[in-house]
């Protein structure tokens, strides 16, 4: 009889060919996908060349997505994208997404059915943990680990302890998945889940769309988490059915599985939340933050650039105009989201409001391009990080919030709630 295990432990055990594992154990796991982008792939490609193999282990299980500095902002970024393009072509890599068919990687790969339940996924990008929303074990690694993964199809892990976040009850007006995860990060701190799997449960989580679940798992890393994960249910199955390219496997935590800690969270206690500079854990209620004026608002990224997010922003912006002192930049996360938003008439609402709508890119989130901040400027963003200099000059400031708070802020000129605009 095997020991009771969490969903994370079961996935790692299965991929290590073991009947059971326990926290702290070192395991060598078979991989289902290795991911890299235009910042990390060039390093991985150079390291891959040093390993001494001619071909990647499986050309259908590697994804290369140029999304951080694309469309190329300068010669150096163009060279990095060129290296990816040539490597993908030479290796016959199936999941290479060029300009015109690409998107922000962590929105694109679930949309395209490249990731699924029960997978073990490593990505040379810390927000790879997004795919835990599908019931997968997904975690960020360094470019060297990605190179080894591309060559061997395997990776070593120390089995993480698991934390359970049981969120129950009904969310209040304008409270979203982004507010849930900001609330949790504020509760436990940026190292509160250090090298631990964050498992999200409860009827509040079950009521969320896949978009909302991806938002929550995306930011597990901002609490130090090794991964974020949500068990498969009918919502997950409906999303994967007819989309996910490989058969998937569902795993569920045993009722008597052991957790390092269980957090019980009442959804009614969660308010629209804003993270102040310079840590995602520096959280405040949006209603107490109205004295913060901003110069720029960014709605997009792998955290909140999906169609559901754009619909919320459009609902608030319709018939209103962006404050004269604010630049509003809206970034649909994939080409399909871009198309759908355009066909729904959301772009007309955004443009009428005075916003700029961009092709999919990570751009401003990492201070790359398409919205850099000058000295002393402030931004409200639906992105996931607000470290010093994250979006530009070291003296600039980034405030994190939901699409609803971001859209209201763009109109008011200061941090605001939608009801403040009435």
pLDDT tens-digit series, residues 240-273:
999 999 999 999 999 999 999 999 999 999 999 9
Contacts of 190 (CB under 8 A, 6+ apart): 222, 223, 224, 279, 280, 281
Which alpha helices (DSSP H) does 140-202 contain, by range?
A: 143-152, 177-188
Predicted local confidence at residue 2, as pLDDT: 79
pLDDT for 409 beyond 80: yes
Predicted local confidence at residue 26, as pLDDT: 97
Predicted local confidence at residue 366, as pLDDT: 86
Q: 122 or 101: which carries more pLDDT confidence?
A: 122
Q: Is residue 308 part of a domain?
A: yes
With contact defined as beta carbons under 8 Å apart, do 300 and 330 qualify?
A: yes
Could you tell me what percent of the chain has a pLDDT over 90? Answer: 91
Q: How confident is the model at residue 102 (pLDDT cuts 50, 70, 90)?
A: confident
Same domain, 230 and 300: no
Average pLDDT over residues 164-169: 98
Q: How confident is the model at residue 363 (pLDDT cuts 50, 70, 90)?
A: confident
Domain boundary among 224, 239, 264: 264
How many Cβ atoms sit within 10 Å of the Cβ of residue 375? 9
Domain boundary among 241, 264, 287: 264
Same domain, 81 and 174: yes
Average pLDDT over residues 47-64: 94
With contact defined as beta carbons under 8 Å apart, do 186 and 281 qualify?
A: yes
Strands 62-65 and 33-37: parallel
Range of the domain at 45: 7-264
Same domain, 408 and 318: yes
Same domain, 292 and 155: no
Q: How confident is the model at residue 1 (pLDDT cuts 50, 70, 90)?
A: low
Q: Is residue 230 part of a domain?
A: yes
Average pLDDT over residues 54-72: 93
- CATH, residue 291: 3.30.499.10
Predicted local confidence at residue 388, as pLDDT: 86
Q: How confident is the model at residue 378 (pLDDT cuts 50, 70, 90)?
A: very high
- Does the predicted TM-score (pTM) go above 0.85? yes
Q: How confident is the model at residue 206 (pLDDT cuts 50, 70, 90)?
A: very high
Q: Is residue 98 part of a domain?
A: yes
Q: Is residue 1 part of a domain?
A: no
Could you tell me what percent of the chain has a pLDDT over 70? Answer: 100
Average pLDDT over residues 8-23: 97
Q: Is residue 222 part of a domain?
A: yes
Q: Angle at which helices 403-412 and 307-317 pack, to 10 degrees?
A: 30
Sign, Cα dihedral of 112, 117, 123, 129: positive
Average pLDDT over residues 207-215: 97
pLDDT for 199 beyond 80: yes
Predicted local confidence at residue 305, as pLDDT: 96
**Which of 2-16, 63-77, 115-129, 295-309 is predicted with the least confidence, judged by mean pLDDT?**
63-77
Tell me the pLDDT tens digit for each residue of 70-96.
888 999 999 999 999 999 999 999 999
**Which of 115-119, 197-201, 324-328, 369-373 is predicted with the least confidence, judged by mean pLDDT?**
369-373
Same domain, 411 and 386: yes
Closest of 240, 241, 191 to residue 213, by C-alpha: 240
Q: Is residue 387 part of a domain?
A: yes
Structural domains of the chain, count: 2
Predicted local confidence at residue 46, as pLDDT: 94
Q: Is residue 269 part of a domain?
A: no
Domain boundary among 211, 246, 264: 264
Same domain, 279 and 259: no
Average pLDDT over residues 393-417: 97
Same domain, 93 and 55: yes
Same domain, 307 and 253: no
**Which of 66-70, 159-163, 181-185 is predicted with the least confidence, judged by mean pLDDT?**
66-70
Same domain, 309 and 234: no
Q: Is residue 422 part of a domain?
A: no
Mean pLDDT of the chain: 95
Same domain, 67 and 154: yes
Contacts of 28 (CB under 8 A, 6+ apart): 16, 154, 155, 156
With contact defined as beta carbons under 8 Å apart, do 334 and 104 qualify?
A: yes
Terminal C-alpha separation, the chain: 61
Same domain, 59 and 196: yes
In SS3 terms, 293-305 reads as ECCEEEEEHHHHC
Same domain, 146 and 42: yes
Q: What is the dihedral of CA 373, 82, 219, 378, to 10 degrees?
A: 0
Question: Which run of H or E residues covers position 405?
Answer: helix 403-412
């Amino acid at each position: 009889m095997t020991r009771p295990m969490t969903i994370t432990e079961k996935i790692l055990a299965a991929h290590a060919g073991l009947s059971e594992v326990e926290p702290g154990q070192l395991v060598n796991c078979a991989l289902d996908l290795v991911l890299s982008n235009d910042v990390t792939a060039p390093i991985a490609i150079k390291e891959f060349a040093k390993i001494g193999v001619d071909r990647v282990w499986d050309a259908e299980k590697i994804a290369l997505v140029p999304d951080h500095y694309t469309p190329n902002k300068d010669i150096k970024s163009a060279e990095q994208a060129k290296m990816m393009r040539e490597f993908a072509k030479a290796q016959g890599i199936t999941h290479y997404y060029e300009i015109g068919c690409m998107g922000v990687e962590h929105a694109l790969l679930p949309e395209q059915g490249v990731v699924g339940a029960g997978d073990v996924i490593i990505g040379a990008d810390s927000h790879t943990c997004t795919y835990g929303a599908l019931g997968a074990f997904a975690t960020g690694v360094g470019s060297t680990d990605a190179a080894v993964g591309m060559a061997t199809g395997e990776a070593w892990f120390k089995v993480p302890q698991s934390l359970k976040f049981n969120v129950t009850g009904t969310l209040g007006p304008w409270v979203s998945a982004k507010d849930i995860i900001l609330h949790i990060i504020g509760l436990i701190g940026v190292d509160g889940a250090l090298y631990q799997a964050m498992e999200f449960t409860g009827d509040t989580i079950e009521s969320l769309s896949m978009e909302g679940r991806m938002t929550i798992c995306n930011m597990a890393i901002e609490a130090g988490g090794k991964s974020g994960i949500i068990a498969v249910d009918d919502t997950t199955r409906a999303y994967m059915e007819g989309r996910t390219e490989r058969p998937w496997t569902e795993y569920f935590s045993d009722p008597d599985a052991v957790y390092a800690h269980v957090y019980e969270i009442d959804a009614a206690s969660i308010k629209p939340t804003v993270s102040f500079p310079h840590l995602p854990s520096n959280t405040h209620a949006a209603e107490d933050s109205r004295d913060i004026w901003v110069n720029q608002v960014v709605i997009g990224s792998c955290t909140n650039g999906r169609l559901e997010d754009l619909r919320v922003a459009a609902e608030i912006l319709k018939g209103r105009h962006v404050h004269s002192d604010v630049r509003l930049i809206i970034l649909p996360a994939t080409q399909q989201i871009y198309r759908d938003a355009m066909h729904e008439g959301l772009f007309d609402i955004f443009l009428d409001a005075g916003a700029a709508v961009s092709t999919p890119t990570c751009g401003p989130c990492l201070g790359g391009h398409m919205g850099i901040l000058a000295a002393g400027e402030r931004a409200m963003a639906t992105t996931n990080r607000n470290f010093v200099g994250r979006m530009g000059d070291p003296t600039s400031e980034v405030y994190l919030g939901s699409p609803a708070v971001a859209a209201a802020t763009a109109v008011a000129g200061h941090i605001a709630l939608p009801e403040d605009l009435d």
